[in-house]
Amino acid sequence: MAHTFGRRRAAVVAIGGAAGAGTRWAVLTWAGSSLFPWPVLALNIAGSVLLGVLLAEAWPHPSARLLLHDVAGIGFCGGLTTFSTFALEVVDLARDGHAQMASAYAVLSVLGAIAGVMAGAAALRRLRAVTLPVEGRP
């Protein structure tokens, strides 16, 4: 996979990032606030599942994988998920006297994201096994 910087690739990442960040903003605005940061947890896990579906497995065409990497991986999933907000919410929960909740949120976030990538990749493998002829499988 070529890792060259270009205006076209930068534009694709920016468009994907704007879509992901806009989606995150809409979900967080719609969900409102609660003591436990369920919306950010859900967005981070959903982004991890999507990343697993799109990028954890080999694609038959490297150029298609590179485009997915740029627009959906770096762009959309990068804008949708948010490690900095996760970190801030862990600190806020602990500071406000909710150490157990902060710990649970941290563990759920990390394990949920890892499980999400694995589940997304497994779903793609399963879908490919059903839909691709044997000779077309990577």
What band does 1 get if pLDDT is binned at 50, 70 and 90?
Answer: very low
Q: What does the pLDDT read at residue 65?
A: 78
User: 17: Cβ–Cβ under 8 A, 6 or more apart, which residues?
Assistant: 74, 75, 76, 78, 79
Extract the tokens encoding 112: 């949920």
Q: Which residues of 74-105 are buried (b: 16+ CB within 10 A; e: fewer)?
A: bbbbbbbbbeebbeebbeebbeeebeebbeeb
Q: What does the pLDDT read at residue 61?
A: 77
Q: Are 48 and 116 in contact (CB under 8 A)?
A: yes
Q: What does the pLDDT read at residue 19?
A: 98
What band does 37 get if pLDDT is binned at 50, 70 and 90?
Answer: very high
Dist. CA 75–CA 63, nearest whole Å: 16
- Render pLDDT for 52-101 as a digit per residue (tens, 0 to 9): 998 877 777 778 778 888 999 999 999 999 999 999 999 999 999 999 99
CB atoms within 10 A of CB 46: 19
Dist. CA 25–CA 54, nearest whole Å: 22
| Average pLDDT value over all residues in the chain | 89
Q: What does the pLDDT read at residue 111?
A: 98
Dist. CA 113–CA 115, nearest whole Å: 5
pTM reported for the whole predicted model: 0.83
- Render pLDDT for 12-35 as a digit per residue (tens, 0 to 9): 999 999 999 999 999 999 999 889
Q: What does the pLDDT read at residue 137?
A: 53
Dist. CA 93–CA 124, nearest whole Å: 36
Q: Are 30 and 20 in contact (CB under 8 A)?
A: no
